[in-house]
Structure 1
Amino acid sequence: MFGIGGGELIIIILIAIMIFGSKGIPDVARFMGKTMAQLKNATNEIKNEIQNSTTDSGIDLNSITDGISDEINKAKEGINNTVNPLKDITTDIQNPIQEVKEDIENLSGPIKRQF
């Protein structure tokens, strides 16, 4: 939960109780809940306004965001290939190793049966 451990959460709760008191905590929580709901409503209104204005002006917002998403994915792949260039090599090496292992198992099968 947000990178907070159990001990850290207990310390935060204790500090909140010390600052607001046990009777003030529900009021603070109620205020925070209302504030978060208002913030969420405001961001949704902004999103809707942007979508409506792009639709009215004839701009396809989905094509713009898809193009950006494609470029971001290409950049991620490039970074991953730069950071971990051995990723493809390991699969190229594992297949021949697996084949040799199977060949050894096939050849040693009759030998193992003799013991």
Structure 2
Amino acid sequence: MGTLPLFISGGEIAFIVFILVMVFGADKVPEIAKGLGQGMRSIKNATNEIKSEVMKSADKHKTDVSGVKTDVTKEIDKVKEDIEEITGSVKRRF
């Protein structure tokens, strides 16, 4: 499977899922995964809002932020990719 950015192997993920099932029961695991997905979506929305506010502020002050915009966009895209990679593995497991 490979290693996730958090350096968690497939075996460790399986062990965590096993513990979750043992502690919360099989019927609660989908609810937990749904909550995690909603949390990730909230983070994604917050980053988009921050990006929007930065761009509005720059436009308001008529500052040339093309370099800053590119850097911010790259960083946000990296965070989105990391979130998608993490939530993708969670979605595949459930």
TM-score by length of 1: 0.51
Between the aligned partners of 1:64 and 1:10, the Cα distance in structure 2 is: 41
Structure of greater Rg: 1
Contact 2:58 2:65 in 1 (8 A): yes
Any gaps of 5 or more consecutive residues in structure 2? 71-94
After the TM superposition, which parts of structure 1 deviate over 6 Å for at least 4 consecutive aligned residues? Answer: none
| Structure with the bigger percentage of helix | 1
Any gaps of 5 or more consecutive residues in structure 1? 67-115
Aligned-residue sequence identity (percent) comes to 36
- Partner residue in 2 for 1:5: 9
The Cα shift of 1:55 comes to 1.2
The Cα shift of 1:64 comes to 4.7
Between the aligned partners of 2:45 and 2:69, the Cα distance in structure 1 is: 23
- Partner residue in 1 for 2:27: 23
Q: 1:53 aligns with which of 35, 52, 57?
A: 57
Between the aligned partners of 1:22 and 1:7, the Cα distance in structure 2 is: 19
TM-score by length of 2: 0.61
Between the aligned partners of 1:15 and 1:42, the Cα distance in structure 2 is: 31
Which letter maps to 2:16?
A: I
Correspondence 1:1-115 to 2 at 5 A: 1-2=4-5, 3-64=7-68
User: Size of the alignment, in residue pairs?
Assistant: 66
Give the number of the structure with larger relative contact order, counting CA–CA contacts within 8 Å between residues 6 or more apart. 2
